[in-house]
Structure 1
Amino acid sequence: MTELFVPHRFCGPPSSGNGGWTAGALAALLALASDHAEPWPAVTVSLLRPPPLDVAMPVVPSDDSLQAMDGEEAVATAHVNAEEVAVVEPVPAEEARAAEASYAGHLFHPFPTCFACGTGREPGDGLRIFPGRVTDQDGAARTAATWTPDPSVAEGYRDTEGTQRATVPVTWAALDCVGGWAGDLDERLMVLARMTAQIDALPAVGEEHVVVGLARGSEGRKTRTASAIYDPDGRVVARAEHLWVAVNPADFA
């Protein structure tokens, strides 16, 4: 039986999986099950509850989707999405690098353990993507940071030319939190509820990329954002759209 397993390294809050990494891991399983290994299709993953760490979750196929289970409870579902994923406009690497100093998470971070954006993670362990505010896109707030994938996120993967590249789950993780910080994560606690991502090429290890997030509006407890990863040549290698839901901080104490 196929299983989804989230090692503790890939946590968001201390006791649950990073939403982007978990969603990407399930998306990768769906791509393999659907004979869509490369190029990767756009996949939508809904996170129904905090993903448990170090637990083998059976993955159940249903029509054109997958569902990861923890006992009798569904943790996440994934399905291929035929719709076009929004592209966030690029930010120069110099501007993104300078913006990292103004990262709101340096002052207060709700989840410093987060694999993607946690300030409590060491280099080579977490991604340490620290997005700060940059110029707006059509009046909408944007954040950006640089990211150079470490060899540890390749997990032995090399492309046909022998280049080490980040895995699919790590690429989804890199697309995750930059969106939340472009939204209102610095004003209220939110968790990822749904993410759609399209990967054109996996980020190359050792090359500086630019990760950009875009606010797309809030309504009630819901916030929508988008994100993109650009390679050193200014090409989009991956993009995503997110739905975040505000939660009670006591539930994640």
Structure 2
Amino acid sequence: MQQREHIISISSRFCGPPNSGNGGYVSGLLAKAMGVPCQITLHAPPPLDTPLQLLASDEGAELRLGEQLLGSAKPHVFKLNLPSAVDAATAAQAQERFEGFEQHNLPCCFVCGTNREPLDGLRIFAGPTELRDEQVAALWTPDDTLTDESGMVSSEYLWAALDCPGYFAVRGQAGIALLGRFSAHIEQPVRAGEPLVVAGWALGHDGRKHFAGTALYNQQGEAVAWAEATWISLQKAAAA
């Protein structure tokens, strides 16, 4: 088994909490290093603007700060039953009801932070739809700051976009929660400037664990990427 080692640093632009990386973005970096479908487990918050060791092989990947394990990846193929696409008009109405406008635990978050400006954060404000319970949706058009050398949106940003909407789908039962595990599948590349609908929905709840699905849909209603996440409730953990 040949292991590849890289030194990476997570820029403060890509924070989730103020002092650590957004979980979806960090998961996307691990997945890109592996290069195969995988499941990411986040073990500890990765610090910002700090040299980190990214070790990857075909059998797995690890993100470390010295001896501390921050994240790990293992090959994983999942099947997710996708709901019907949310149309753009419904998503536009839903995002007006984004709960983060009233109260946001992480207004600096790269993905869903209300304090982030255009061309800085993704500004995905997924609010509840009226189509089904525990479903949220929003509009998102990725910009040119998110592309790779081919002009396509880099995969780690698609992973990021699939992150926070899942939380807001389960927030009613989860309360304050952090991403624990994350798997994503990118079906087709996305161009900068391509209008998308982001949807998230609850898959179930089990004590402190809350399961969510998310998807990105193009203008034709086709799913271009989807993900499955496990969120860990912190408030209930403290109460226990």
What TM-score does the superposition give when structure 2 sets the normalisation length? 0.91
Q: Which shifted more, 3-12 or 205-214?
A: 3-12
Choose which of 220, 225, 229 in structure 2 pairs with 1:233: 220
**Alignment correspondent of 1:223:** 210
Give 1:63 shift: 6.6
Listed as ranges, the gaps of 5+ residues in structure 2 are: none
Which of the numbers 32, 54, 73 marks the counterpart of 1:59? 54
The corresponding residue for 1:157 is: 149
Pair 126,79 (structure 1): closer, same or farther in 2 beyond 3 Å: same
8 Å CA contact 1:88, 1:227 repeated in 2: no
Name the residue aligned to 2:156.
169
* Equivalent of residue 136 in structure 2, options 120, 133, 143: 143
- Could you give the per-residue CA deviations for residues 189-230 of structure 1, whole angstroms, max 9, x where no partner exists? 101000010011232211110000011122221111000001
Q: How far is 1:62 from its partner?
A: 6.3
* Structure-2 residue corresponding to 1:161: none
Aligned to 1:194: 181
Corresponding position: 1:97 with 2:126: no
Whether 2:189 is the aligned partner of 1:206: answer: no
Unaligned runs of 5+ in 1: 32-40, 159-163
> Matched residue of 1:210: which SS?
strand
SS in 2 for 1:120: coil
Alignment identity in percent? 36
CA distance in 1, matches of 2:68, 2:75: 22
1:184 alignment partner, SS class: helix
Which TM-score applies when normalising by structure 1?
Answer: 0.86
User: Following TM superposition, by how much is the alpha carbon of 1:87 offset from its aligned partner in structure 2, in angstroms?
Assistant: 2.4
Q: Do 1:86 and 1:239's aligned partners in 2 also have CA atoms closer than 8 Å?
A: no
The residue type equivalent to 1:157 in the other structure is: E
**Greater shift after overlay, 237-246 or 3-12?**
3-12
**1:71-82 map, 5 Å:** 71-82=66-77
CA drift at 1:187 = 6.1
Per-residue deviation, residues 57-86 of structure 1 (Å, max 9, x unmatched): 112346700111111110000122123244
Q: Is the partner of 1:183 in helix, strand or coil?
A: helix
Corresponding residue of 1:16:
20
Q: What SS does structure 2 have at the residue aligned with 1:180?
A: helix
The number of residues matched between the two structures is 233
**Relative to 1, partners in 2 of residues 1:186 and 1:52: Cα closer, same or farther, differing over 3 Å?**
farther
3-state SS of paired residue (1:169) = helix
Aligned partners of 2:94 and 2:138 also within 8 Å: yes
Structure 2 CA distance for partners of 1:74 and 1:86, relative to 1, 3 Å: farther
Matches within 5 A, 1:113-124: 113-124=108-119
**RMSD value, Cα:** 1.9
